[in-house]
Structure 1
């Protein structure tokens, strides 16, 4: 009773096709496929962005100390 046979799955598939129709199922499949492809492309872009820091971001700690501006000191003068 815990496992389903092939006949159970075929009956479920038949009911799903009768409820939604083949055209709607095809559209849902293509939408799902394009969503997965977009997700993979986004993950690939995110990985390449992690390799290259954004413009203007300081990556070396030595140069970060040279470019630091003390705002309070400028206000006093």
Structure 2
């Protein structure tokens, strides 16, 4: 494509969409690319805007309840 073709294409796109719509599309596309790159890098923050090391983790089950469960399992197999 020559430079003339590109200019004609640009004029047609501006006439169809308008400059305001093109600005919005450009900013939305830029934000999407930024978020995509942040996702590829792992990002600085986890879900909900909290840093990764500050996310809550589930507590392990208490040891007493696991012993009761294992005794219950043995009684069913007999």
**Range class of TM-score, shorter chain:** 0.5 to 0.7
Question: TM (normalized to structure 1)?
Answer: 0.56
* Residue 28 of structure 2 is aligned to residue 45 of structure 1: no
Deviation at 1:5, TM superposition (A): 1.2
Secondary structure of residue in 1 paired with 2:23: helix
Give unmatched runs, 5+ long, in structure 1.
Answer: 50-54, 57-70
Question: TM (normalized to structure 2)?
Answer: 0.55
TM alignment of 1:1-40, pairs within 5 A? 4-40=1-37
1:20-64 deviation per Cα after TM superposition (whole angstroms, max 9, x unaligned): 011110110000000010111111127xx9xxxxx68xxxxxxxx
Cα RMSD between the aligned structures?
3.0
Give unmatched runs, 5+ long, in structure 2.
Answer: 47-56, 59-68
Q: Which residue, out of 63, 73, 76, partners 2:74?
A: 76
Q: Distance in 2 between matches of 1:73 and 1:12?
A: 76
